[in-house]
Chain A
Amino acid sequence: MRSRRFRLPSSRFHKATILDNKSVGRGYFRLVLRALEMSAAALPGQFVMLRVSENMDPLLARPFGISSLPSRSSLELIYRVVGRGTSLLTQRKAGDSLNLLGPIGNGFPLPEKDATPVLIAGGSGFPPLHFLSAKAGSRAHLFIGARNKDCLPPSGIVKSFRDTAAKVHLATEDGSAGKRGMTTDLLNAFLNEMERKTPIVLYACGPHAMLGAVSRIAAIHSLPCFVSMEERMACGVGACMGCSVAMKTGGYKRVCKDGPVFDSRDIEWSEQVAVKLVESR
């Protein structure tokens, strides 16, 4: 008779106790969850799926990038309050527990010891890069872009980036903080001027339009570039086929199972950007 043995249920799905869930400014909350095995396994660039309540509405779990590991047994998520799901999440208190699935995805390939990692964060895409910068060492350069000062990451995060990275380069579209303009222009100028004594690797997370622009800059400078993609997602285990990203080879890949980190050269940016421009009209 056919009957494959089943190992113990995976530690990748369980109830996790909230240790902390507080506003950290600029519309963001910092959520710390107790999750022993997940914390031990988590890599920069990976994410978790979190259900904000046990109710059927809202139904689906939400994906959140892991922003750091505050201890050996906990995960930190920094989330922006954007809709009903995240609003409900802000009401959950320390001691409550939530259904947690993770860590999910491949994570960023870590830079070689002698490399200069260049991290580019757009909008609310900074959490996975925050985790990466903690691992990438003091050689890292960090580019943060936002529409205006109020859309930047919380000041505590910017400070923590300043503490770990070689330099933080800020840009806002209206010039209310850092340089006026697009992060990608700042990045391009930086790469033009930079002496190429060591190999440079780009890591980016943010809106698709920004990721597409970073990808073009990487191609112009012939630099390796890894992008963390975001797409609407239901299951987080590769079954629903909802979180598809178009590939240059013609088909689609899943953010949850094949990503979220992709080599920027593999992505069919024309489809990504077309979809997103239509969406944001």
Chain B
Amino acid sequence: MAAKFKIKPDLSIDFAGIRLKNPVLTASGTFGYGEEYAEFVDLNKLGGIIVKGISINPIKGNPPPRIWETPSGMLNAIGLENPGVDVFLRDKLPYLRTFDTAVIVNIFGYSLEDYVSVAEKLDGVPGIDGLEVNISCPNVKAGGMVFGTNVKAAFELLAAVRKVTKLPVIAKLSPNVADITDFARAARDAGCDGLSLINTLLGMAIDVRCRRPRIANCTGGLSGPAIRPVAVRMVWEAAKAVPLPIIGMGGIASGDDALEFILAGASAIAVGTANFVNPRATLDVLSGIEQFMTEQGQGRLSSLIGKVETG
């Protein structure tokens, strides 16, 4: 019997100076701090983990109900509940560091100073490979999306964070804007090393019998497969507008879903809501990408980035 040798496709990527063994990351807020999924997923197999957003002080979050299921998606208004940067560094990061995977810390604040303080605290901390700056959370009244929907505010914030850290800075952009490329350019001009998109789309659901919003915050962020076409389109637009590498996300649940983003111009992808549905979704996406590469006879994932044919 003739042995059939197949060269394993090379899925590694240098993303903004962060070495990723493969392009599969976890979207912030959908994978906790890694430990929540460690019994289901060998975290060593992931390209990286983008942790749940961290602020300078602990945040309590919004009152329940916080989530509502929608067609092929869900609305959430968690309100960025998190234990604060000090507890993260003391209790969460040491555990994450025991794994052979990149750790990207998502940061946010209610003011420019908040963001800068968190970035300063994380700069030079061993075990952190990059910062993802959340300028796009739709569920808090101040900060978050306020920065992400105003080009000038976004630029100033990202430039201020850029100044206080040597880590790669990735701007997580909001889809709740008229033209995503304005914000991609603002991030580039501010000296960011990469982009993450998209965050959730602002949405609302109403219980018609009670005449009340389904979630206590009234509005929430829509995620899941329902938003994937919007996300792919925005990654495609942003990739054409700026040379920054992009982490594409929005409803990815399979290898083919991930490849849509890569062909649209993403260098890496993040699995989000699918983790809730299937705790092993990240590994399913990874094996789906590998299978695609083998089937297509593609040796290197990087040769597929942005290769959608639109002519």
Q: Of B40, B64, B68, which one neighbours A10 at CB under 8 angstroms?
A: B40
Contact call A237/B279, Cβ cutoff below 8 A: yes
Least CB distance from B201 to A in Å reads 15
- Stretch among B29-37, B114-122, B239-247, B301-309 lining the A interface: B29-37
Contact call A56/B72, Cβ cutoff below 8 A: yes
- Stretch among B146-154, B184-192, B269-277, B292-300 lining the A interface: B269-277
- Stretch among B9-17, B93-101, B166-174, B230-238 lining the A interface: B93-101
Q: Is A165 an interface residue (CB 8 A)?
A: no
Chain B residues 180-201 with CB under 8 Å of chain A are none
What is the CA–CA distance of A4 and B101 in the complex, to the nearest angstrom?
A: 10
Contact call B224/A56, Cβ cutoff below 8 A: yes
Contacts of A4 in B (CB 8 A): 43-44, 98-99
Contacts of A237 in B (CB 8 A): 32, 36-37, 40, 279
Contacts of A243 in B (CB 8 A): 64, 66
Least CB distance from A238 to B in Å reads 5
Total contacting residues, chain B, CB less than 8 A: 48
Chain B residues 32-51 with CB under 8 Å of chain A are 32, 36-40, 42-44
Contact call A231/B273, Cβ cutoff below 8 A: no
Q: Is A197 an interface residue (CB 8 A)?
A: no
- Stretch among A72-80, A118-126, A259-267, A272-280 lining the B interface: A272-280
What residue of chain B has the Cβ atom nearest to residue A252's Cβ?
B61
Q: DSSP majority for the B interface? A: loop
Contacts of A275 in B (CB 8 A): 63-65, 216
Least CB distance from A100 to B in Å reads 11
Contact call A239/B275, Cβ cutoff below 8 A: yes
Contacts of B76 in A (CB 8 A): 234, 240, 242
> Most chain-B Cβ atoms within 10 A of its Cβ — which of A6, A7, A12?
A6
Contact call B42/A245, Cβ cutoff below 8 A: no
Contacts of A240 in B (CB 8 A): 29-30, 67, 76, 78, 276
With known contacts A59-B73, A59-B225, A244-B61, A13–B279 Cβ distance under 8 A: yes
Contacts of A280 in B (CB 8 A): 210
Contact call B66/A242, Cβ cutoff below 8 A: yes
Contacts of B73 in A (CB 8 A): 59
Contacts of B38 in A (CB 8 A): 6
Q: Of B36, B100, B279, which one neighbours A1 at CB under 8 angstroms?
A: B100
Contacts of A242 in B (CB 8 A): 64, 66-67, 76, 78
Contact call B60/A250, Cβ cutoff below 8 A: yes
Contact call B74/A59, Cβ cutoff below 8 A: yes
Q: Is A195 an interface residue (CB 8 A)?
A: no
Contacts of B207 in A (CB 8 A): 279
Q: Is B253 an interface residue (CB 8 A)?
A: yes
Q: Of A56, A241, A278, A281, which one neighbours B225 at CB under 8 angstroms?
A: A56
Least CB distance from A250 to B in Å reads 7
> Most chain-B Cβ atoms within 10 A of its Cβ — which of A2, A4, A238, A275?
A4
Least CB distance from A249 to B in Å reads 11
What is the CA–CA distance of A234 and B271 in the complex, to the nearest angstrom?
A: 15
Contacts of B60 in A (CB 8 A): 250-252
With known contacts A13-B280, A237-B37, A238-B32, A6–B43 Cβ distance under 8 A: yes
Contacts of B81 in A (CB 8 A): 241, 244, 252
Contact call B36/A239, Cβ cutoff below 8 A: yes
What is the CA–CA distance of A101 and B32 in the complex, to the nearest angstrom?
A: 17
Contacts of B32 in A (CB 8 A): 237-239
Least CB distance from B206 to A in Å reads 12
Least CB distance from B205 to A in Å reads 12
Q: Is B311 an interface residue (CB 8 A)?
A: no
Contacts of B72 in A (CB 8 A): 56-57, 59
What residue of chain A has the Cβ atom nearest to residue B127's Cβ?
A2
Q: Of A6, A9, A58, A60, which one neighbours B280 at CB under 8 angstroms?
A: A9
What is the CA–CA distance of A242 and B277 in the complex, to the nearest angstrom?
A: 13
With known contacts A231-B65, A234-B74, A279–B212 Cβ distance under 8 A: yes
Q: Is B111 an interface residue (CB 8 A)?
A: no
Contacts of A218 in B (CB 8 A): none
Least CB distance from B43 to A in Å reads 7
Q: Of B98, B99, B277, which one neighbours A60 at CB under 8 angstroms?
A: B277
> Most chain-B Cβ atoms within 10 A of its Cβ — which of A12, A242, A245?
A242
What residue of chain B has the Cβ atom nearest to residue A11's Cβ?
B39
Contacts of A238 in B (CB 8 A): 32, 36
Q: Flag A58-72 by CB within 8 Å of B: 1 or 0 each.
A: 111100000000000
Q: Is A185 an interface residue (CB 8 A)?
A: no
Q: Is B278 an interface residue (CB 8 A)?
A: yes
What is the CA–CA distance of A233 and B224 in the complex, to the nearest angstrom?
A: 15
What residue of chain A has the Cβ atom nearest to residue B42's Cβ?
A6
Closest 6 CB pairs of A and B: A6-B42, A242-B67, A3-B100, A235-B276, A10-B39, A239-B32
* A-B contact sample (19 more), CB < 8 A, given A58-B69, A235-B279, A239-B31: A3-B99, A6-B38, A56-B225, A59-B72, A231-B64, A233-B67, A234-B67, A235-B36, A238-B32, A240-B29, A241-B66, A242-B64, A242-B78, A243-B66, A244-B61, A245-B64, A251-B60, A252-B61, A279-B207
9 contacts between A and B (CB under 8 A): A4-B43, A60-B74, A99-B278, A232-B66, A234-B67, A239-B52, A240-B78, A242-B66, A252-B81
